[in-house]
Amino acid sequence: MRRGDVPARRCRSGERVAVVGAGTLGLLATQLLAAGGPAELVAVDPRASRGELAARCGATTLITPDEAAATPWARHFDVVVEAAGAPGSAALACGLARRGGRVVLAGLAADGDHPLRALDLVLPQLTVHTVFGAPSRAWSHAVRAFAAGHLDPAALVTHELPLDDVGAAFRLLDDAASAAVKILLRP
pLDDT score of 171: 95
Does position 86 have pLDDT exceeding 90, yes or no?
no
List the 97-105 sheet strands across, edge first: 2-3, 127-130, 97-105, 77-82, 16-20, 40-44, 61-63
pLDDT one-digit tens code per residue, 93-103 = 999 999 999 99
Q: Tell me what the mean pLDDT of segment 84-112 comes to.
A: 87
pLDDT one-digit tens code per residue, 3-32 = 444 444 467 889 999 999 999 999 999 999
Domain ranges in the chain are 2-139+143-147, 152-186
pLDDT score of 146: 85
Q: How many angstroms separate the CA atoms of 44 and 75, rounded? A: 14
The CATH label, of 3.20.20.100, 3.40.720.10, 3.40.47.10, 3.40.50.720, for the domain at 2-139+143-147 is 3.40.50.720
Which string of DSSP letters, residue by residue, matches 34-103?
HTT--SEEEEE-S-TTHHHHHHHTT-SEEE-HHHHHSTTTTT-EEEEEE----TTHHHHHHHHEEEEEEE
pLDDT score of 4: 45
Q: Is 158 helix (H, G, I), strand (E, B) or coil?
A: strand
54 falls in which pLDDT band (50, 70, 90)?
very high
DSSP 136: T
**Torsion angle of alpha carbons 7, 103, 30, 40, nearest 10°?**
120
pLDDT score of 26: 94
Which of 58-62, 124-128, 135-139, 167-171 is least confident? 135-139
pLDDT score of 132: 74
Which amino acid belongs to residue 28? L
Q: How many angstroms separate the CA atoms of 65 and 88, rounded? A: 10
pLDDT one-digit tens code per residue, 110-133 = 666 677 888 888 888 999 888 877
Does position 77 have pLDDT exceeding 80, yes or no?
yes
